[in-house]
Homo-oligomer: A and B are copies of this chain.
Amino acid sequence: MSRAARLLDLLQVFRRYRHPVSGAALAEELGVSLRTIYRDIDALKAQGAAIDGEAGVGFVLKPGFMLPPLMFSEDEIEALVLGSRWVAERADQPLGQAARNALAKIGAVLPPDLRAGLDESTLLVGPGAPLSAGESELPRIRDAIRRQRKLTIAYADVNGASTERVIWPIALAFFDRTRVIVAWCELRNDFRHFRADRVVSLNIETTIYPQRRAALMKQWRIKLGIPLRSRAGD
């Protein structure tokens, strides 16, 4: 049996047992040495499996590795498809690809009658202006936001003069024609907004900025008087 097959088997075994399983038991079940089991589990973890190993207990696959079946109303499906199409059309390439992947995954766990709605969806998104040259860095900007890393940018202001700044990026706002980075600016010691297309160069620092993003976000919202909005459930 190939290793790839064994890894999938291993997942099935985990889904079968709900209780902790010892590595030795897995080794015997799969006909392979204990050392190999550890390596396989490493491999699965590397692919995002939430496998929990406790000394003296065993391994458990925490729920959430596989996508469970989902049920949506027709409106909800249309909303998801429309939103994903907009992302695919207007956001950066990796994010657009992610939108398509997400939709495909949802489609795979949808009951067949609803799945048709995914393909046939009748809500279209008009084409957007292509991202300008400077915006090829959007994926890295998103990465810096996510990991709360400082960013050194060369930024051309409205007059074309370029300044170099260290900023703490906390959000990325999508407008019809521009993308704007929301950040704390070390130069100004205040929140500032930077149009992504005016970012001339960009470097992600290794240092994490000294306040939590959520806290900064809250301050920013207060400063602008933006109520909590665009939340999942309100």
- Residues of A in contact with B (beta carbons under 8 Å apart): 2-5, 7-8, 11-12, 15-16, 18, 43, 46-48, 50, 62-89, 91, 94-112, 114-115, 118-120, 122-126, 128, 142, 145-146, 170-176, 180, 182, 213-214, 217, 230-234
Integer count of this chain's copies in the complex: 2
B126 engages A174 (CB within 8 Å) = yes
Q: Contact partner of A102 among B67, B80, B105, B123, CB < 8 A? A: B80
Q: Could you list 30 A-B pairs, sorted by A, with CB under 8 Å?
A: A2-B43, A4-B47, A5-B46, A8-B47, A8-B67, A16-B100, A16-B104, A65-B71, A66-B71, A67-B69, A67-B71, A68-B109, A71-B105, A73-B101, A75-B94, A80-B99, A86-B87, A100-B234, A104-B232, A118-B232, A119-B232, A120-B213, A122-B172, A122-B213, A123-B174, A124-B173, A125-B173, A125-B230, A126-B176, A176-B176
Q: Which residues of B contact A142 (CB under 8 A)?
A: 78, 122-123
A169 smallest CB distance to B (angstroms) = 8
> Which of B4, B111, B232 is the one whose CB lies under 8 Å from A62?
B111
Which residues of the other chain, B, contact A77 by a CB distance below 8 angstroms? 102
A118-B232, A174-B82 are contacts. A76–B98 as well, Cβ < 8 Å? Answer: yes
A interface, over-half SS: helix
A6 to chain B, nearest CB (A): 9
Q: Closest 6 interchain pairs by CB? A: A83-B83, A64-B111, A75-B98, A126-B175, A79-B99, A76-B102
On whether A126 and B173 interact (CB within 8 A), knowing A16-B100, A67-B109, A99-B79, the answer reads yes
**What is the CB-to-nearest-CB distance from A129 to chain B, in angstroms, rounded to a whole number?**
9
Residues of B with C-beta under 8 A to A78: 95, 98, 142
Q: Identify A86's interface contact among B2, B46, B81, B83, CB under 8 A.
A: B83
What distance in Å separates the Cβ of A189 from its nearest Cβ neighbour in chain B? 22
Could you say which residues of chain B place their CB within 8 Å of the CB of A66? 67-71
